[in-house]
Amino acid sequence: MALGRQAIRDAGAKQAVKAQPRALVVPKATVVAPQPSSASAYVPRAQGPIILNGQVLHSITEERLDVVRSLEDGYLQEQVVPLLKPVDKCWQPADFLPQSQEPDFLDKVHELRQRAKNLPDDYLVVFVGDMITEEALPTYMTMLNTLDGVRDETGASQTPWAKWTREWTAEENRHGDVMNKYMYLTGRVNCKSIDVTIQNLIGSGMDPKTENNPYLGFCYTSFQERATKVSHGNTARHALEYGDETLAKICGMIASDEGRHEIAYQRIMDALFARDVNGAMLGFADMMRKQIVMPAHLMDDNEHSKKGRNLFQDFASVAERTGTYTAMDYADIVEYLVGRWNVPELTGLNGEAAAAQEYVIKLPNRIRKLAEKAQARKGKAKVHNQAFSWVFDREVLL
């Protein structure tokens, strides 16, 4: 997955949207009785609402939980699951890497290292940051399994929701594998520092503020998968510019996977908008007000903070400067989703959802204006270089 929240924070968007009221209605405190489902067992939720770490847990109402369950009856199998590829049709990391059993293995590693010599340090920092994000995959599977009504209750459940989550995870698992192995072979990066960062990130987890609510969760994944596609697409383009065609192919294949996955999650939201336009509109606006917290925002290499620096923020700054993922990309994704879900033309909205509609429609231009102002301020600021342990403490322009 990609970065971007820091770029928006730098643009001042958080201040602009902070004053907006919360969109989601917290359910009244009731004891929820178990509800049978033809596709999956439902575990009753505790008496609510529950506030933990500043957010409401299990904020979805019973009526909207029924809407989510209804997608199991055909829609998920017909519109979402087919976007996964059979394993024998998927690329694998070994397709792009020198094979250690082959007699010319060392020659191919030498060729790989020669190509990688042309990759500048700022590219390596962005690539490694994206790679570390991909390597924290256990956290993302865990996040999906916090969502009410769709979680894998047994670890091997045969419900369409559970199978989707596991098979999506299996496809995503290849991304970190190939990126990590390729970087290891280049000799250009500090693998131990990267390993420490990955372990810290998985141990820290993430909190996307989705409240165990699939309406919020699938808004988040709809955005995040597209953001990741953009970032990997740009690292592919940059790798080609620096003469590493194999690395460009790797990044391009990853971007292609993310493109399929974004369509899957957006189709889930398509159905929620069709079946519960008010709930979907409120969920979309709520996630936009909170901003999309990036999966790797808690990354830590045990070194950067000793210098009084935030590793994720500095990584995001390099990504912004190199054009890999920017505040403008964030605005473009919001605008894309507004169009994808036909938000300007939605009708039949209640008062609260209509206000959410108006807010979301105006948001992309608001973000762009704030980003332009932030960029102008940055252009006048003093140039700053920062050392990154990932590239053996070499300094990179932020």
pLDDT tens readout for residues 109-130? 999 999 999 999 999 999 999 9
Work out the pLDDT band at 268, boundaries 50, 70, 90: very high
> Is 225 flagged in the annotation as binding?
yes
Q: Is residue 175 part of a domain?
A: yes
pLDDT at 196: 98
Of 121, 148, 258, 314, which one is the catalytic site residue?
Answer: 258
Provide the number of structural domains found in the chain. 1
Closest CA to 31 of 8, 4, 58: 58
Work out the pLDDT band at 33, boundaries 50, 70, 90: very low
DSSP single-letter state for residue 77? I
Hey, which of 52-56, 293-297, 373-377 has the most confident mean pLDDT? 293-297
Q: Is residue 22 part of a domain?
A: no
For residues 320 and 51, give the distance between their C-alpha atoms in angstroms, rounded to a whole number.
35
| Catalytic residue status for 122 | no
DSSP H/E element including 354? helix 351-380
What domain range is 219 assigned to?
A: 58-397
Of 121, 257, 301, 329, which one is the catalytic site residue?
Answer: 257
Q: Is 24's pLDDT higher than 50?
A: no
> Is 175 flagged in the annotation as binding?
yes
Average pLDDT, the chain: 89
Tokens matching residue 63: 């009526």
For residues 297 and 315, give the distance between their C-alpha atoms in angstroms, rounded to a whole number.
10
Q: Is residue 32 part of a domain?
A: no
Angle made by CA atoms 348, 359, 18, in degrees to the nearest 5: 135
Give mean pLDDT, residues 231-256: 98
Give mean pLDDT, residues 59-77: 94
Work out the pLDDT band at 49, boundaries 50, 70, 90: low
Q: Is residue 21 part of a domain?
A: no
Q: Is residue 16 part of a domain?
A: no
DSSP single-letter state for residue 382? P
Tokens matching residue 116: 């990688």
| Catalytic residue status for 352 | no
> Is 258 flagged in the annotation as binding?
yes
| Catalytic residue status for 345 | no
Of 10, 122, 130, 134, which one is the catalytic site residue?
Answer: 134
| Catalytic residue status for 111 | no
Q: Is residue 257 part of a domain?
A: yes
Question: b or e along 10-48 (b: 16 or more beta carbons within 10 Å of the residue's beta carbon)?
Answer: bbbbeeebeeeeebbeebeeeebeeeebebbebeebeeb
Work out the pLDDT band at 395, boundaries 50, 70, 90: very high
For residues 32 and 28, give the distance between their C-alpha atoms in angstroms, rounded to a whole number.
11
How buried is 379 (Cβ within 10 angstroms: 0-12 exposed, 13-18 middle, 19+ buried)?
exposed
Q: Is 5's pLDDT higher than 70?
A: no
* Cβ neighbours for 29, distance < 8 A, ≥ 6 positions apart: 47, 48, 49
| Catalytic residue status for 322 | no
For residues 44 and 31, give the distance between their C-alpha atoms in angstroms, rounded to a whole number.
9
For residues 156 and 228, give the distance between their C-alpha atoms in angstroms, rounded to a whole number.
27
Q: Is 23's pLDDT higher than 90?
A: no
How buried is 364 (Cβ within 10 angstroms: 0-12 exposed, 13-18 middle, 19+ buried)?
buried
The CATH number of whichever domain residue 137 belongs to comes to: 1.10.620.20
Please confirm whether the linkage preceding 49 is cis (ω < 30° from 0): yes
For residues 293 and 21, give the distance between their C-alpha atoms in angstroms, rounded to a whole number.
19
| Catalytic residue status for 261 | yes
| Catalytic residue status for 297 | no
pLDDT at 73: 82
pLDDT at 347: 96
Q: Is residue 40 part of a domain?
A: no
> What does pTM read for this prediction?
0.87
Considering the chain, what percentage of its residues have pLDDT values greater than 90? 82
Q: Is 384's pLDDT higher than 70?
A: yes
Q: Is residue 223 part of a domain?
A: yes
Least confident interval from 43-57, 174-188, 203-217: 43-57
